[in-house]
Structure 1
């Protein structure tokens, strides 16, 4: 496991101007996964895009963890439906030609 792919929570707290307890709450609610590397809690860099969305929802719209969970689930469903729609349109193009 490469430590280069993980970002320490301390760095994230400084960058996003949030408390460590915010990330711990997200972890407890299952919205993010915190991994401990060399005694430091970290988040995988692949999850940063979702994490930024979560932080914006919390800071800008003042949405609590339950609301964030709902919004993230709905966004995931929308993304899935959009992908299914694109696949269906691609299949229909075969019959149009």
Structure 2
């Protein structure tokens, strides 16, 4: 299975992003870079994360460590929201079952 890859050097040139910023993101484990024949590539599925990190860095002046913290917290919030949605669905099912159960007094 071939993964679509973006040449980091080209992305940086077109987006006016410093390549060292992308290397720093990789060093902190925020993105994965693949090296093929000495050229660095980013998997296409990580492009959304990279663009979000670039915006946080450039628009909000968030450093690499801050980007890592924000990314982690947003991931946790997303997980908690999914858990809350699951619990609401279960509660609705429980409530519907309870209302349809004859009273046994």
Equivalent residue number for residue 92 of structure 1: 91
SS at 2:40 equivalent:
strand
Equivalent residue number for residue 2 of structure 2: 2
Q: CA deviation at 1:44?
A: 0.7
Q: CA deviation at 1:96?
A: 2.1
Return 5+ residue gaps in structure 2 as ranges: 97-105
Q: Larger helix proportion, structure 1 or 2?
A: 1
Moved over 3 A (4+): none
Equivalent residue number for residue 100 of structure 2: none
TM-score by length of 2: 0.84
Return 5+ residue gaps in structure 1 as ranges: none
Distance 2:89 2:49 in 1: 28
Distance 1:15 1:92 in 2: 50
Equivalent residue number for residue 72 of structure 2: 73
Equivalent residue number for residue 103 of structure 2: none
Q: Report the RMSD for the aligned CA atoms in angstroms.
A: 1.3
Decide whether aligned partners of structure 1 residues 54 and 45 sit closer, same or farther in structure 2, where only a CA change above 3 A counts. same
Q: CA deviation at 1:15?
A: 3.0
